[in-house]
Amino acid sequence: MDTDELDPWSATTAELYRTLRARLDGDDPAVLATIVDVDGSAYRRQGAKMIVVPGDDSYGSITAGCLEGPVVDLANAVLDEGRARVETFDLMNGDEWGLGLGCNGVIDILLEPLDNNFGVALDALANDQPVTVLTAVESSDGNVTVGDRTVLDSDLSSLGDADRNRLPSELVSNESDVVESLRESASSKAVQLETSAGTVSVFVDHLEPVPELLLFGNQNDVHPVARIGREAGFRVVVASSRGSRSDGSDFPYATRVVSTHPTEIDEAVRAPENTYAVLMSHNFLDDRLALETLLEGTSVPYVGLMGPRKRFEEMQTEFEQEGVQLSQSQLERVSTPVGLDLGSDEPIQIALSIVSETLAVHNDRNGGRLKCREGPIHERVTTP
């Protein structure tokens, strides 16, 4: 059922986390490759990751296909040496425009044998906590070696340091502003830092937990949304009304299937800030109760409501009649009619429209065509 079996190169972050956790649990060696710097326009940005396992299989992507081969070749050497290294790939091959968007530009890649040090990051992520992984990627300071690492939790406290040297603590505390600003923009960047004994370049890698897509309903149309949601990288949870026919085995794309009452759907929300809910029970009362419960009882940023605008207006009338007062900010979290405006009514296209909207909201975007967007496609990462 994993889509990485179909096309490992386009494995999602969720799939990469799963693969890393499985390698660690099984004591199976692997090399993690991470883009730490890019000069010029590239297909993927800093922080993009690929996993290489013995036998030369790989998961994930660092370019559109230019560097995956060379990095796989290097991985065996990295495993043999048992320590991290950074390789610079200079692909400036006479492309006079510098805009080939392919095998050109200069890309720095951190290659490291997977160890339990990354495991503490995975543990935090599995508990829906963002983490910041700081890794020395260049050093003229004799006390700091490439690969030295500190993993910070969301309070900027240091997590465990199994299998790896920690970065000097004053270096980490000096970077707290940078860490904060990268966390806000959910991005990753290499930063040059002066120490008393030299210069250290630290890659500040901000990792977000996998977002969760909570689908309330159990009719056929849940399936395509679950499928596309899973493919797009969400952890999918299906919440079915108690007493419904479903026994859970019906939803192969869901990570969890819970049986719930609409007034208790908040109990199915594990990480509210990172949960995107879609109400699609096709039952007016159930959807209304679930909407009220999610808006009042949780801070989920997005509640998609299936059906026409008029249906939500009817719900609002009922809220008034029942004395349910919803604030403006609560109402703004409601997305109805649900989805992006793709103009389609086929189930899989409706699913595409819904999942695309949740992704856009997750990334603080509005959908709409990029050609019409003002300013750059990616936010510029500015650090203090």
Segment 207-226, which members bind a second copy (CB under 8 A)?
Answer: 219-221, 223-224
Q: Classify 275 as helix, strand or coil.
A: strand
Cis peptide before 252 (omega within 30 of 0): no
- Under rule CB under 8 A, residue 380 binds a second copy: no
CA-closest candidate to residue 211, choices 360, 42, 370, 37: 360
- Under rule CB under 8 A, residue 72 binds a second copy: no
- Under rule CB under 8 A, residue 101 binds a second copy: yes
How far is residue 117's CA from residue 196's CA, in Å, rounded to a whole number? Answer: 26
List the one residue from 22, 92, 99, 126 that touches a second copy (CB under 8 A): 99
**Least Å from the CB of residue 369 to a second copy:** 5
Identify the H or E element spanning 334. strand 334-335
- Under rule CB under 8 A, residue 85 binds a second copy: no
List the one residue from 147, 168, 233, 262 that touches a second copy (CB under 8 A): 233
Q: Are 61 and 48 within 8 A, CB to CB?
A: yes
- Under rule CB under 8 A, residue 292 binds a second copy: no
Q: Are 222 and 238 within 8 A, CB to CB?
A: yes
275-279 and 212-216 beta bridge pairing: parallel
Count of residues making up the chain: 384
How far is residue 354's CA from residue 374's CA, in Å, rounded to a whole number? Answer: 24
List the one residue from 21, 24, 79, 95 that touches a second copy (CB under 8 A): 95
CA-closest candidate to residue 23, choices 47, 60, 52: 52
- Under rule CB under 8 A, residue 272 binds a second copy: no
- Under rule CB under 8 A, residue 43 binds a second copy: yes
Which residues, 6 or more positions from 347, have their beta carbon under 8 angstroms from its beta carbon? 220, 221, 224
Nearer to a second copy, 3 or 201 (CB): 3
Q: Classify 352 as helix, strand or coil.
A: helix
**Least Å from the CB of residue 355 to a second copy:** 7
Query: Tokens at residue 91, please?
Result: 């692909």
Nearer to a second copy, 61 or 195 (CB): 61
Nearer to a second copy, 298 or 353 (CB): 353
Nearer to a second copy, 192 or 321 (CB): 321
Nearer to a second copy, 32 or 84 (CB): 32
List the one residue from 94, 377, 380, 384 that touches a second copy (CB under 8 A): 377
Spell out a b/e string for 195-234, using b for 16 or more CB atoms within 10 Å of the CB, else e. Answer: beeeebbbbbbbbebbbbbbbbbbeebbbbbbbbbbbbbb
336-375 residues near a second copy, rule: CB under 8 A: 336-349, 351-353, 355-357, 359-360, 362-373
Query: Tokens at residue 267, please?
Result: 């109990």
Nearer to a second copy, 117 or 335 (CB): 335
**Least Å from the CB of residue 273 to a second copy:** 17
List the one residue from 82, 263, 284, 320 that touches a second copy (CB under 8 A): 284
Nearer to a second copy, 67 or 152 (CB): 67
123-182 residues near a second copy, rule: CB under 8 A: none
